[in-house]
Structure 1
Amino acid sequence: MLRHTATVSRLTAYVAVWTIVAFLAGLLFFLSSSRTVVLASHDAQVSPDLGGHVVVHTGPVLPDFRLDTGNTLGVDIRLGKTEARSTDDLVRRYISIAGQPDSQVDKVKDAVADMAWDAALRGAVVGLVPILVWLLLGRRRRRDLGARALGPQGALAGLLVVFLVLMAWQPWTRNESVVESEHPWMSLGDFVGPDVTLPEEAAGIEVRGDVTTDQTRRLLTSAISKYESSKSWYVTAATDAAALDLHQPSEGETVVVLVADRHDNIGMDQVARALGDAAGATAVFDAGDDTSAGKSWEEFSLDSVTQAFDGLRRYGVAGNHDHGTFVSSYLDSHGWTMMDGEVIDGPDGATLLGVDDPRSSGLGAWRDETGLSFDEVGQRLSDVACASPVRVSTMLVHDADLAADALARGCVDLVLAGHLHVQEGPTRVVGSNGQVGYSYTTGTAGGAAYAIAIGGKPRRDAQISLVTYRDGRPVGIQPVTLRTTGEFHVAAYIPLVLTPSRVETAQK
């Protein structure tokens, strides 16, 4: 009984020591850690602290911002390099991102959570060290070391520890005062002045500026005004979209949202999702050009469209403006099924085929070959479609011309594309084999007049299309256009009359 009690006491002591050491070590690791992420189109360093605020250091031109988190944990964010060509361009990006901040907030949360888990694991390992050392030394060795600790050797060891701590700490070194510490925090309202009405969500924001940022008050005031009008415009559009009278799928039918040419306009993402929900959509097709240049600073756009369609099955291709492989690889790693030149299963039993625009990556699905021309990639894609043992119900491409040969040969039911920024079709095509197919190009979902649509309201009419499937085959399309005036134009549902399949013929 006494031995059992001693064992329990010893194990309790080990657990207590491990818990204390692991917690302290983990906390130290956590507070000294950082992550570099792409945030708000910047390379940004994210570091946790116990200051109770989210502090954003924007650099020498714009003021720093902070917001109370409501608890002890805080985050320090230092924005680094960006590819913005001017301060005005940068502010326009901020306006757009601020209107749809959830994806960026989640990115910071994920970074902090990742650091916390990493610190906890490292702390757990460190917490085992004193216990393992204690056990490895053994009782006799511990007694011997304890006796020596009270003698000259112990005193020398203690002095060595103190010396090492002082060398690491260096309390005699004087740090120069930091410039930013000389400028107090003030409310955003006080900074911009009483003539500016702040949005409700900005009520708790504080800023810290200097003589340089005093010159940006007018720019910041203008940004607040643009933010308020832009956000309210998209919120109103999303609310109106949810109430539209759209074609509803019948029993056994599936609806897919089709977007293309967003060009960084994340404001339209909430509108597109509202339309999809109103139509009962369960999947989304992205026909490319989510960005203007395919650069890493445009992660915010990819994060936004990913979050907007969370819970839906997501399929996509990269467009010609999504230069390189960054966009495809990023979306692929964040839950999208990216087309790579092979026939795959899609929603409602549909068979899908598609590939990134060859003008974006120089590759198709054929990764061992480079420099394939647009026509060569189209020919390869057509060959894959026509050789498929099951009929391809949908070919998803950025430019419909890439699938023209497959349609001409009668090997696909429906080609879905973007690129033109205006609607074309659906156009009925009778293939050389007698099979009927359709080509449909949707307008720009971002309301983009050119290659970028970030900031403010759409520059031209924005369009989202809704594609209905039955038994794995497309049976109808409904285009929905949001005018630059904020009014919706809901086009009539367009039935697609295809050549009956062998199963349908046999059933008749």
Structure 2
Amino acid sequence: MSRPRLPSPRRAAGLVAGALAWLTLAVVAALWVFTSSTRAVDIASHDAVVAPDLSGEIVLRTGPVLPDLRVPSGSAVGAQITLGKSDTSSLEELTARYAAIGSQPEGQVAAVERAVRSMAYAAALQGAALATVPLLLWVLLGAERRRGLPRALLSRRGAAGVVVLALVVVALVVPTRWGRGEERSDRWMTLRSFLGPDIPVPDAARGVEISGDATTAGSRRLIESAVSSYEQGERFYRAAEEAAADLDLRPPADDESVAVLVSDRHDNIGMDRVARAIGDAGGATTVLDAGDDTSTGERWEAFSLDSVSAAFDGYDQRFAVSGNHDSGTFVRRQMERLGWTYFDGEVREGPGGSALLGVDDPRSSGLGNWRDEKGLSFSEVGDRLADAACAADADGRRVATLLVHDANIGRDALRRGCVDLVVGGHVHVESGPTAVESDGSGAGEAGTVGYTYTLGTTGGAAYAIAYGTKLRRAANVALITYRDGRPVGLQSVTLQTNGRFDVTAWQPLLYGDDMDGVPAGEVTPGPDGATGSPPPAEATTTPR
């Protein structure tokens, strides 16, 4: 067998030189494309444009009224973020939003990082492709033509060709830099210098610089208000997060799994890290979101969806349904893009290998208390949901948990005995878990027991509004324990407006023979699933 021929030293040197030339051209082209890129994103309840650069600083251009802000990025890559229109009725309301978002910035940071990262990936691919073009031309010319290239370039025709090529390059390159080349002569000062010695600046904001051109008394008052609100919210929720990590919650056994249930957040991103801390303290690896993450379902509320997604990043499973205030299609599309799983009538594998079914709320509403039916009615969706649950039960895959926004939509599935547990929210008042006996009209026998449970508002919302410096009403999170594919227990955690935690005793969910000895009256027969009250609190903790 003949040995493979190795390339000659001259050819090997040519290949190495070609590879180095391609790599150099690719890096230069990628950097040019990257720093010329822009990406439209939703930031801080604004339509915004992110433009990356290599300044090592993040500059926030807020517009003509509020001053611009600048912070170090922590790396060589920086960005200019230009805020556009926002759906707000007053500058004071917008400033309050900034304070609430600034005290829990993880979701917004993740949104900007995703945008910059996607532009970097796209620039790398385009740079690699652009760097290949001159090398291909070099190869296509061939050795003989390349030897005659210097003489041809010195000719009149060659000089004209070079000029035309240069004009083409300029025509392609210059427009991509329009609007990006003007250097603004901003005068920056630290936030502490801007506010003066009488206003304390939180440690997390010490690296923030502010445009020194905004010196009006009105601008100063708005910034002072935002800093004060930021500090209050950050202090309250940080203390609650630290206290939640120390709560005395029932730990799961080796053969058990735990899901944390949230609902009716209504844009209160401050509670997201607290809910995550509660879930972690209880051993949760799955999150169930029963909807109403927003107040209106508009694009400006993307910050809320970014926040809850960042808070529960790393969990094995993240399931959600849309609530009646998550109007339209934006909330679901954005949540799915961020990695959440919805249902569309399909039974999913849920926590602990259990069967999980869910449905979006068929209603939509604004900030009032009116309801507007659209498409299928509430009762029609409930009937179809019960049909799907009973069909799965008949096929040997009993639905362990029915995730809905309003637990009433699952009462038909409970009446027919086709589901173990229905969980929802919607009314902002906790009730249950309450046992419900089936009437035998489903796949199971009459007397089969299921449970209904309604969570309060995780966002501490009054009506459909929750964001602010602290809770408007008590905030509620629940932990559901699963064993052998069924929910076997539930524990509720409530954060009061004064910062105190109330933790209920772990409530077992019993089925079949396990129901023997349960006192009369603790099982509620009939289709309405009469509500019950949560068990009494067994532990309280006040954030330090």
* TM-score of the alignment, normalized to the shorter chain, above 0.5: yes
1:52 paired to 2:63:
no
Residue from 235, 241, 265 that aligns with 1:238: 241
Give the aligned partner of residue 400 of structure 1.
407
1:114 paired to 2:118:
yes
Q: Report the more deviating stretch, 114-123 or 181-190.
A: 181-190
| Contact 2:110–2:306 under 8 Å retained in 1 | no
Cα offsets for 1:447-476 (capped at 9, x unmatched): 001102112101000011111111111111
Partner Cα separation in structure 2 for residue 102 and residue 29 of structure 1: 28
Residue from 512, 523, 529 that aligns with 1:499: 512
Partner Cα separation in structure 2 for residue 444 and residue 37 of structure 1: 29
1:249 paired to 2:252:
yes
Give the aligned partner of residue 300 of structure 1.
303
Summarize the Cα distance change of 1:475–1:379 in structure 2 as closer, same or farther, 3 Å threshold.
Answer: same
Cα offsets for 1:276-327 (capped at 9, x unmatched): 1111112111111011111122111111111211222111111000011222
| Contact 2:324–2:362 under 8 Å retained in 1 | yes
Q: Report the more deviating stretch, 181-190 or 233-242.
A: 181-190
Cα deviation for residue 71 of structure 1 reads 4.2
1:487 paired to 2:491:
no
Partner Cα separation in structure 2 for residue 489 and residue 159 of structure 1: 77
Give the aligned partner of residue 473 of structure 2.
460
Amino acid at match of 1:9: A
Amino acid at match of 2:88: A
1:410 paired to 2:410:
no
Summarize the Cα distance change of 1:413–1:21 in structure 2 as closer, same or farther, 3 Å threshold.
Answer: same
Summarize the Cα distance change of 1:437–1:156 in structure 2 as closer, same or farther, 3 Å threshold.
Answer: closer
2:473 is paired with a residue whose SS is coil
Residue from 35, 38, 54 that aligns with 1:34: 38
1:218 paired to 2:221:
yes
Give the aligned partner of residue 505 of structure 1.
none
Amino acid at match of 1:385: A
1:215 is paired with a residue whose SS is helix
Give the aligned partner of residue 364 of structure 1.
none
| Contact 1:317–1:396 under 8 Å retained in 2 | yes
Cα offsets for 1:207-246 (capped at 9, x unmatched): 1153575422111101111111111100100111111111
Amino acid at match of 2:464: A
User: 1:74-473 alignment to 2 at 5 Å?
Assistant: 74-160=78-164, 181=184, 183-210=186-213, 214-312=217-315, 313-360=317-364, 371-388=375-392, 389=395, 390-433=397-440, 434-473=447-486
Amino acid at match of 1:338: Y
Summarize the Cα distance change of 1:54–1:145 in structure 2 as closer, same or farther, 3 Å threshold.
Answer: same
Summarize the Cα distance change of 1:268–1:131 in structure 2 as closer, same or farther, 3 Å threshold.
Answer: same
1:216 is paired with a residue whose SS is helix
Amino acid at match of 1:222: S
Structure 1 segments unaligned to the other structure (5+ residues)? 362-369, 502-508
Give the aligned partner of residue 535 of structure 2.
none
Cα deviation for residue 146 of structure 1 reads 2.3
Cα offsets for 1:90-123 (capped at 9, x unmatched): 1121111111112211221221121112111111
Summarize the Cα distance change of 1:86–1:143 in structure 2 as closer, same or farther, 3 Å threshold.
Answer: same
| Contact 2:67–2:214 under 8 Å retained in 1 | no
| Contact 2:362–2:381 under 8 Å retained in 1 | yes
Amino acid at match of 1:110: R
Count residues in correspondence.
Answer: 487
1:337 is paired with a residue whose SS is coil
Partner Cα separation in structure 2 for residue 304 and residue 412 of structure 1: 32
Looking at secondary structure, tell me which structure has more helix per residue: 1
Q: Report the more deviating stretch, 295-304 or 150-159.
A: 150-159
Partner Cα separation in structure 2 for residue 387 and residue 119 of structure 1: 50
| Contact 1:386–1:406 under 8 Å retained in 2 | yes
Partner Cα separation in structure 2 for residue 185 and residue 359 of structure 1: 49
| Contact 2:88–2:94 under 8 Å retained in 1 | yes
Partner Cα separation in structure 2 for residue 354 and residue 160 of structure 1: 63
Cα deviation for residue 442 of structure 1 reads 0.6
The alignment's TM-score, normalised by the length of structure 1, stands at 0.91
Give the aligned partner of residue 72 of structure 1.
76
| Contact 1:60–1:212 under 8 Å retained in 2 | no
Structure 2 segments unaligned to the other structure (5+ residues)? 366-373, 441-446, 515-544
Summarize the Cα distance change of 1:391–1:12 in structure 2 as closer, same or farther, 3 Å threshold.
Answer: closer
Cα offsets for 1:352-401 (capped at 9, x unmatched): 1110001149xxxxxxxx71101100111111112222322111110011
Q: Report the more deviating stretch, 403-412 or 491-500.
A: 491-500
Cα offsets for 1:128-153 (capped at 9, x unmatched): 11211111112222233322222333
Summarize the Cα distance change of 1:6–1:251 in structure 2 as closer, same or farther, 3 Å threshold.
Answer: closer
Give the aligned partner of residue 15 of structure 1.
19
Cα offsets for 1:423-462 (capped at 9, x unmatched): 0111121110211111110100000011021121010000
| Contact 1:62–1:213 under 8 Å retained in 2 | no
